[in-house]
Structure 1
Amino acid sequence: MNIILGASGQVGSNIVKELISHNLPVRAVIRSRNPGFDSQVEIRTADLFNPEQLTDALEGGNTVFLLTPEDPASNDIIGETQQIINNYKQAIHANGIKRVVGLSCIGAHVEANTGNVLMSRMLEQGFADLDIEKIFIRPSYYFSNWLGFLETVEQYGVLPTFFPEDLEVDMNSPIDVATFIAKVIAHKSRSSDVFELVGPQKYSSRQVAETFSKLLDKHVELQPVPKEKWNETLASAGFTASTTANLVDMTQAVIDDIVVPENPDAVCLPTTLYQYLKEKLEK
């Protein structure tokens, strides 16, 4: 049984759909919201902070997909991440799980003040003492992050960014990431490995604004947020002091060129920024 945690999220839900399309057994573990899966999907509910529920959810599994959820309302995002990883290990040990596939991110190999990237590093290192197959997937910046500004772009013709205007960053489609992970899950190798994923090219914030301009047929002005306004801007969007600090640290690490692939042979995913945004805007 292939068990997918975080199955109501954009990556998890698409992993489930991809596995079902290949007639593979899938159990989707969700906290509350059912994304409306195919009837072939077994569904269980579990709170990742509840070790008993998590242990029950992993019963009978052989491969489990893991991730570190990011809660903007958390007052201790790093402490909660460690708690979740501890619960994962307890549930995996209790059920004799032999294989984990973890959603990490590019830069997880770096030992530095990398904010949210540190959560992925914690996930990778958290299973070092378990004698099981461990595969970690490190995608780059999701195209979907820009959709959080869509209302501002559509109403005001402005795209805010925390990055320098012409800083080019590795980016990829979360749908491509899910498809890749599903293939990894389906391929029953007996090895531990790390896969780093990038898109077909790097993009700058300016290029993102230009892409929105083309798709919406209107001028979209790029609006860089000065560093002294980062905390205030994130707080106004509902982030706590803890999650704000981590996002600020991660953003600075990207700008400082710290959050980069560890190896030169990263997997290149096919979808371009234009293709991804076009499909999302047409829905």
Structure 2
Amino acid sequence: MHIVVLPASPKTSQSTIRALLADPAEPTVTGVYRDARRVPDEFRQHPRFEAVQGDIADAQSLDGVFAGADAVATITPPLHAEADPIAKARELAGNVKHAVLGQGGKSSSVKRLVYVSSVGAQFEQGTGEIRTNHEAEQALLGAAPEVVFMRCAYFMENWATSLATLKADPPFFYSVICPADYKIPMVSVRDIGWICAAQLLADGSAASVDGDPYSTRDVQQAFEAATGKTVEVKLVQDDQLPGFFAQAFKEPMASLFVEMTRSFLPGGVAAKDMNQGAQIRRGKDTLNETVRRMLEE
């Protein structure tokens, strides 16, 4: 079996490739890179892996990339600098669909496409940055006989943004998940990888990639257990969200992150029925394990 991963650089794609290369089924894997220098040595040296050059934003560069592929994994790369990230996400997904189907409009080999999406992507409005996933899902419909949307829970690795402030004296971290004891499902990138690999290698349907529910307080305890220090939580309340995200992003992305955050907090449009219509796949990693791994990297 031959599988193509596009783009191959994001962490979820790397985790998927790693899981595929470790799978007993021994599939061959092609990773598509805009910059060939970003191919990790562990992949470059593997006999069942090949790196090719291609850019998800350049439709012509994808010509022939999927020739002979049985399955395809794709993801929307970060679009933080785009003037219209929603439209861009749909355009990028359209490029993938066009390349998978080929110039004749019908794929000769690809039987399954797996798109790594997000919980809440079933909603057309009110979810902010998650709308990029909704638009991509809509654009990818019909790209292959089987199209699977993997709607992932909150990434545990999102807390990696706190590693710098954990080095402060005293250590602290910011959290937009309020109140502090409010729990949401979280999953590790490593778990997303093996679940994506399983979806590529076997039959299945739309899958919600879920994990155990954790709160800000749980994250605080995980940081304290990993560092052996007392760690302060600085909660970002609702009225502080616009200013908080404006420090990290330009418009319109800052406002999209505000809307996204509000969508999964109590009373938000995506707070209930996040996994509606999907088969749930559960991750194995605990928050404590993932935090320790992040601190060791």
What TM-score does the superposition give when structure 2 sets the normalisation length?
0.87
Residue 165 of structure 2 aligns with which residue? Answer: 152
* Coordinate RMSD, CA, aligned: 1.8
Alignment of 1:117-266 (within 5 A): 117-130=130-143, 132-156=145-169, 157-164=171-178, 165-187=180-202, 189=203, 193-199=205-211, 201-237=212-248, 239-255=249-265, 256-259=267-270, 260-263=274-277, 266=280
Residue 9 of structure 1 aligns with which residue? Answer: 10
Residues 119 and 153, structure 2, Cα contact 8 Å, conserved in 1: yes
C-alpha separation in 2, matches of 1:76 and 1:131: 27
Q: Shift of the alpha carbon at 1:4?
A: 0.5
Q: CA, structure 1 residues 7+132, in 2 after alignment: closer, same or farther (shift >3 Å)?
A: same
Matched letter for residue 223 of structure 1: K
Q: Shift of the alpha carbon at 1:226?
A: 3.0
C-alpha separation in 1, matches of 2:257 and 2:139: 22
C-alpha separation in 1, matches of 2:159 and 2:277: 26
Residues 32 and 55, structure 2, Cα contact 8 Å, conserved in 1: no
C-alpha separation in 1, matches of 2:278 and 2:201: 25
C-alpha separation in 2, matches of 1:98 and 1:270: 28
C-alpha separation in 2, matches of 1:170 and 1:257: 15
Q: Shift of the alpha carbon at 1:84?
A: 0.4
Q: Shift of the alpha carbon at 1:265?
A: 5.6
Residue 114 of structure 1 aligns with which residue? Answer: 127
C-alpha separation in 2, matches of 1:131 and 1:16: 20
Q: Residues 97-152 of structure 1, C-alpha deviation per residue, up to 9 Å, x if partnerless?
A: 33211111111222331012212222222233446211111110000000111111
C-alpha separation in 1, matches of 2:125 and 2:277: 18
Q: CA, structure 1 residues 127+9, in 2 after alignment: closer, same or farther (shift >3 Å)?
A: closer
> Are residue 271 (structure 1) and residue 271 (structure 2) matched?
no
C-alpha separation in 1, matches of 2:209 and 2:151: 6
Residues 55 and 90, structure 1, Cα contact 8 Å, conserved in 2: no
C-alpha separation in 2, matches of 1:3 and 1:71: 22
C-alpha separation in 2, matches of 1:103 and 1:277: 22
Q: Which runs of 4+ in 1 moved over 6 A?
A: none
> Are residue 42 (structure 1) and residue 31 (structure 2) matched?
no
**Percent identity between the two aligned chains:** 24
Matched letter for residue 13 of structure 2: G
Residues 75 and 240, structure 1, Cα contact 8 Å, conserved in 2: no
Alignment of 1:91-102 (within 5 A): 91-94=99-102, 96=107, 97-102=110-115
C-alpha separation in 2, matches of 1:269 and 1:279: 16
The count of corresponding residues between Structure 1 and Structure 2 is: 278
Q: List alignment gaps of at least 5 residues for structure 2.
A: none
